[in-house]
Amino acid sequence: MPIIESTYKAPYFFRNGHVSTIYSGLIRRVNGIEQTRERIILPDDDFLDLDWSYTEQKSDKLIIILHGLEGNGQRPYITGVAKLFNNNKFDAVCVNFRGCSGEDNFQYRSYHSGATEDLEAVINHILKTTTYSEISINGFSLGGNMLLKYLGERHNIPNEIKAGIAVSVPCDLYGSCQELHKVKNFAYHQNFKNYLVRRLRRKQKLHADKLSVEAIKSIKTLKDFDDVYTSKAHGFKDALDYYSQCSSLQFLPTIKTPTLILNALNDSFLSPECYPVKEAKQNAQLFLEMPKYGGHVGFHLYGKSYYNEKRALEFVLENS
């Protein structure tokens, strides 16, 4: 499809990508949403926690929301979507990836950008236990990559899934990794790495036969983390093999579900390859919107909802 011309106009102060990213991640608050937690057991006897919120009247429409690296179902960029959709006659379920719901997961493995088997397990559970006839999926960053990979790699997408929205998505994982290792992103890089290593130390105590303290001490960068843990725990040769196999860019040509990618041009986490212009022009079901501003998941608007949340609702309604 032709590239979508964005109508997003960022407030003056939020035209700086770092300001919009940091404000949205650390300062923004979303109030007035009530969530109910459901735990599902996965095929390998691990678990995922799902946080549900509902519209006032019974609905046959659902939005599934996927968080980013080290996120969870209570982050404002997640609950902001859930609240807006709840107010527009959609139920919402926020998926907490393995180990992200406040309790460490059971298995040595965890979550990663390409773990579409866990997304499929969530979808299958919902289809078996509910009666929703229209389901859309909104993924952010890592969760956006997982969504795009799922939609493009599988040939049996359930008929109930009507639309996908991927926001601030690193379609090329290696390119995004390189960006995160640059000086401009030093603070973000260190924050992500420290969170991940802290959780990995807890995991090491339970799985000392699979990971040594010395290996953890060798982790100095996010790529080191993916070399030492992510790749090995999930069946990849090394970090580069993980990035190669799990980048959603290669799956975009085969997406058949109406899908919107919303990536800001001033997102410091994204490399040039993360703006798939060619792929969008060649796939009638793939829509690419590249606002000038927005940072990483920071599409601030005056008012309670963010631009990406309103665009997600518009896109879902257009394709329902």
Non-local CB neighbours of 247 within 8 Å, separated by 6+ positions: 113, 145, 149, 171, 172, 173, 174
Mean pLDDT estimate for the chain: 97
Instruction: Please answer whether residues 252 and 225 qualify as being in contact, where contact means their C-beta atoms are separated by less than 8 angstroms.
Output: no
Q: What is the DSSP letter of 2?
A: P
Chain segment 98-119, per-residue pLDDT in tens: 999 999 999 999 999 999 999 9
Instruction: Please answer whether residues 144 and 168 qualify as being in contact, where contact means their C-beta atoms are separated by less than 8 angstroms.
Output: yes
Tell me which residue has tokens 């998505």. Answer: 169
**Is the pLDDT reported for residue 315 higher than 90?**
yes
| Token reading at 235 | 């069946």
Chain segment 26-69, per-residue pLDDT in tens: 999 999 999 999 999 999 999 999 999 999 999 999 999 999 99
**φ/ψ (deg, to 5) at 135:** -125, 130
Residue 118, H or E segment: helix 116-129
Chain segment 154-189, per-residue pLDDT in tens: 989 999 999 999 999 999 999 999 999 999 999 999
Query: Region 194-210: what's the mean pLDDT?
Result: 96
Q: How far is CA 160 from CA 87, 193, 257, in A?
A: 21, 37, 11
| Token reading at 240 | 């580069």
- Helix, strand, or coil (residue 192): helix
Amino acid found at 179? E
Instruction: Please answer whether residues 25 and 297 qualify as being in contact, where contact means their C-beta atoms are separated by less than 8 angstroms.
Output: yes
Cα-only R_g, the chain? 19
Instruction: Please answer whether residues 171 and 147 qualify as being in contact, where contact means their C-beta atoms are separated by less than 8 angstroms.
Output: no
Measured distance CA(312)–CA(261) in Å, rounded: 10
Query: Region 187-196: what's the mean pLDDT?
Result: 97
Instruction: Please answer whether residues 272 and 265 qualify as being in contact, where contact means their C-beta atoms are separated by less than 8 angstroms.
Output: no
Q: Furthest-apart CA pair in the chain: how many Å?
A: 55
Measured distance CA(250)–CA(271) in Å, rounded: 15
Query: Region 223-234: what's the mean pLDDT?
Result: 98
Query: Region 73-77: what's the mean pLDDT?
Result: 98
Query: Region 5-20: what's the mean pLDDT?
Result: 97
Chain segment 166-175, per-residue pLDDT in tens: 999 999 999 9
Query: Region 223-245: what's the mean pLDDT?
Result: 98
Give 304's pLDDT tier (boundaries 50, 70, 90). confident
Chain CA centroid to CA 315, Å: 17
Measured distance CA(151)–CA(252) in Å, rounded: 8
Please report, rounded to a whole number, the percentage of residues in the chain having pLDDT higher than 70.
Answer: 100
pLDDT at 56: 94
| Token reading at 122 | 């969530």
pLDDT at 320: 86
Give 238's pLDDT tier (boundaries 50, 70, 90). very high
